[in-house]
Structure 1
Amino acid sequence: MAEQRYQSWMRYFTPGPVHHRLGLVCLGVGMQHGPLPPVGPRTLDHHVAIVISAGRGWCQDVDGRRHEVVAPALLWITPGVPHHFGADAEEGWDEAFVDFTGSAVAAYTELGCIEPGRPVVPLTDAGPARGAIIRITRAARQGNPLLEIETAAAVHELLVALRRTRADTTADGAPVLEALARDAFLPLSVAEHAARHGMTAAELRTAVRRSAGCSPKDYVLGIRLGRAKELLAGTDLPVSTVARRVGYDDPAYFSRLFTRRVGMAPVRFREQQGRTVPGGWSHTIPDPDRPPMISHAQP
């Protein structure tokens, strides 16, 4: 009998109704390597993310066109869409996959984290995604009472990791978003933001939506409201001053916008979240390895 040239490990789960209310649930996980046999043609009723971390192979789209797959890469399997793929017969590949479903899939798709129209997505690094998948495999131990919760959390983490390491946006998208964040509090229109990058407004909208899953206006608004919340919660600045600090000369307009998006007026938010402390508010993000701690004076 010929020696088996590939290895496979996989587990499958059946989350209950209450777990489905988490928004995403993990239906299965697997890790395989070697010259694996081809898969399909077949059609599934749920999503599968297949992370190729080494090697090469191929996949066939719905129109029958064959695409080369070179690691690191992601293969998307989407519900109701026929798929057919396989590792190179000689070189093989290292594969890790996660089957998942849930109501949150629609939002992740709208935000660009899931791309139904792209069967193959180049990645800059498969490591972060494999890390999330490894957490699922660890949660799959026998008798784990938190199996469905841990695996569901890891699916969320996986989608973020895949979005962050997508090769077509990491290089160009990050600088644009960084510049928008830096200039978010300036009174600039979308066209003026675009001109700063030598882009048209349409090109900027495309770049930001591909990178952040939203329009430039919404991206800037999110940054402005985030800063406004920080100032309202951590300082005694008047609302009118907070409005000007985050780019709004009209405090009344700022208050209406804040109320519509946050669900409560700025004054009400301050009443709920305000925690002014001696020493003042800082926009510096603490080092995760050295978080703020109470310092006890030495005797």
Structure 2
Amino acid sequence: MRHTWMRYFTPGPAHHRLGLVCLGVGLQHGSLPTVGPRTLDHHVAVIISSGNGWLRSADGRRVAVTAPALLWLTPGTSHHYGPDPDHGWDESFVAFTGPATAPYTELGYIEPDRPVVPLRDPADARAVVARIARAARRGNPLLEVETGAAVHELLVALRRARAGTATETDPVLQALARDACLPLTVADHAARHGMTPAALRTAVRAAAGRTPKEYLLGIRLGRAKELLAATELPVAAVARRVGYDDPAYFSRLFTRRVGLAPVRFRQQESRALPGPGSTPRPDPAS
């Protein structure tokens, strides 16, 4: 016995320009038929919540699939998969495409080289799929935008759910975030963790999808923006607060990455009140 529910969509050109569009969603359970061999022109994330089965990858290898797991079906890559014929499995799928798939792949959220990805807990990803399914009701005027926005959420939820990886709880990322504004090089940070720079790059890339330099720079520039917007500290003092002893270098770097010079950013975004009397609110993230 099997249960199958599917909806498919055809977003317009304007929706594609939003970055990601959802092309379809499905919820299936039981002794489902084998899929493929086939090749698609779009991405599909298949979330296996219970049961087991197999996937034959493009190189002909047959890979065991044991729930919870994610099957990445990527454009132009042949795939062939199915559940155990005796017991079946519980799957949900979301088909999507759009220009944003390229940076999501570059950042490691989509993994073409890992067609089967073990998951810790698919609950959050399944909740996003359920929202897409609810949005798929007939006559929903927000269908394409609502489902496209949810695909972004799905990619984040699947990234968090990967087995063997961590995000906020990763001790290396936590330490880098804590020490990001110290005047330390990447090699200095690696040494503080007893790691080589190459090992640190591998760890940060796996956890955050970026190099240590990019990860640290994002934190430094974010803190610099906060100081420029909420205080009257001179730019040189802001530079020192975020780890740059050379204010001219900081200004050039800030301008190149933000698109505005620090002084111009302050003029545009300033929330500082002159004189005493401003009481900072607690950090909502703490």
The TM-score with structure 2 as length reference comes to: 0.95
Partner of 2:177: 181
- Letter of the 2:103 counterpart: A
Amino acid at match of 2:16: H
Partners in 1 of 2:229 and 2:187 — Cα distance?
32
Task: After TM superposition, give the deviation of residue 90 of structure 1 in Å.
Answer: 2.0
The match for 2:219 is: 223
Separation in structure 1 between the aligned mates of residue 167 and residue 207 of structure 2, nearest angstrom? 10
The answer on whether the counterparts of 1:173 and 1:211 sit within 8 Å (CA) in structure 2 is no
Matches within 5 A, 1:188-207: 188-207=184-203
Counterpart Cα distance in 1 of 2:118 and 2:185: 33
CA distance in structure 2 between the aligned counterparts of 1:247 and 1:172, rounded to whole angstroms: 23
1:196 Cα offset (Å): 2.0
Give 1:80 deviation, angstroms.
Answer: 0.8
1:91 lines up with 2:91 in the alignment: no
Asked whether the 8 Å contact 1:233–1:276 carries over to 2, the reply is: yes
AA in 2 matched with 1:202: A
Q: Deviation of residue 171 (structure 1)?
A: 7.9
Note the C-alpha offset of 1:208.
1.0
Asked if 1 retains the 8 angstrom alpha-carbon contact of 2:26 and 2:93, the reply is: yes
Superposition map of 1:1-299 within 5 A: 5-170=1-166, 174-277=170-273, 278-282=277-281, 284-285=283-284
Q: Deviations over 1:25-64 (max 9, x none)?
A: 0000000011211111111110000011111111111111
Change beyond 3 A, Cα 1:78–1:108: same
Q: Tell me, in whole angstroms, the C-alpha distance in 2 between the residues paired with 1:8 and 1:106.
A: 31
The question of whether the paired residues in 2 share the 8 Å contact of 1:173 and 1:208 is answered with: no
Give the superposition deviation at 1:283: 6.4
Contiguous gaps of at least 5 residues in structure 1:
288-299
The more displaced of 38-47 and 185-194 is 185-194
Deviations 1:73-93 (A, max 9, x none): 100000110001111122221
Task: Give the AA of the match of 2:49.
Answer: S
Find the aligned partners of 1:39 and 1:269 in 2 and give their Cα distance. 53
User: Is the 2:48–2:70 contact (alpha carbons within 8 Å) kept by the matching residues of 1?
Assistant: yes
Give the Å deviation of 1:121: 0.6
Moved over 2 A (4+): 277-283
Q: In the superposition, relative to structure 1, how do residues 172 and 231 fare at CA in structure 2: closer, same or farther (>3 Å)?
A: closer
Pair 1:82–1:268, CA change in 2 (3 A)? same
- What SS class does the counterpart of residue 189 from structure 2 fall into? helix
**Residues 108-128 of structure 1, C-alpha deviation per residue, up to 9 Å, x if partnerless?**
000000000110011111011
**1:242-288 CA distance string (max 9 Å, x none):** 1111111111111111001000111110111101244244562268x
Q: Is the 8 A contact 2:43 2:96 kept in 1?
A: yes
Aligned to 1:297: none
Per-residue deviation at 1:173? Answer: 7.8
Give the letter aligned to residue 239 of structure 1: V
Structure 2 match to 1:295: none
Give the superposition deviation at 1:170: 1.8
Structure 1: distance between partners of 2:282 and 2:174: 16
Identity of aligned residues (%): 70
Aligned residue identity for 2:284 = I
| Cα distance in 2 for residues equivalent to 1:87 and 1:198 | 44
Unaligned runs of 5+ in 2: none
Amino acid of the structure 2 residue aligned with 1:273: E
Q: Return the offset for 1:7.
A: 0.6
Q: Could you tell me whether the CA contact under 8 Å between 2:31 and 2:87 is conserved in 1?
A: yes
Count of residue pairs brought into register by the alignment: 283
Structure 2 SS opposite 1:64: coil
**Structure 1 vs Structure 2 CA RMSD:** 1.6
